[in-house]
């Protein structure tokens, strides 16, 4: 078998549909795992979101960036 034949077989494998039967228990377990991971991802996305970056309290990232703008280390070039 040449390299070209091997590449064709590889491409056929990628493009062809799966024809093997998957046991129902494995399919349900895989589905439950995917749903669980999706819910965990959504929970972590909402948990990490910072709504105001400390603007209301006057601290956090908002204070850090406003101090950097108010007191630059080096003034901008003209």
Q: Is residue 52 part of a domain?
A: yes
Q: Average model confidence (pLDDT) for the chain? A: 79
Model confidence band, residue 48 (pLDDT cutoffs 50, 70, 90): low
CB 50 within 8 A of CB 61: yes
Q: Structurally, how many domains does the chain consist of?
A: 1
- Res. 67: pLDDT tops 70: yes
Q: Is residue 43 part of a domain?
A: yes
Whether pTM exceeds 0.85: no
Instruction: At 20, give phi and psi (nearest 5°).
Output: -80, 140
Three-state DSSP class for 27? helix
Q: Which domain holds residue 31?
A: 23-71
**Digit-coded pLDDT (tens) for 23-46:** 899 989 999 999 999 999 988 887
Better-predicted residue by pLDDT, 70 or 10: 70
| Cβ contacts of 27-35, under 8 Å, gap ≥ 24 | none
């Amino acid at each position: 078998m040449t390299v070209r034949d091997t590449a064709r077989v590889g491409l056929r494998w990628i493009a062809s549909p799966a024809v093997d039967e998957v046991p129902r228990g494995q399919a349900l377990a895989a589905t439950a795992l995917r749903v669980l991971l999706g819910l965990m991802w959504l929970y972590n996305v909402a948990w990490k979101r910072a709504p105001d970056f400390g603007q209301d309290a006057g601290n956090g990232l908002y204070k850090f960036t406003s101090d950097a703008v108010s007191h630059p280390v080096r003034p901008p070039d003209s």
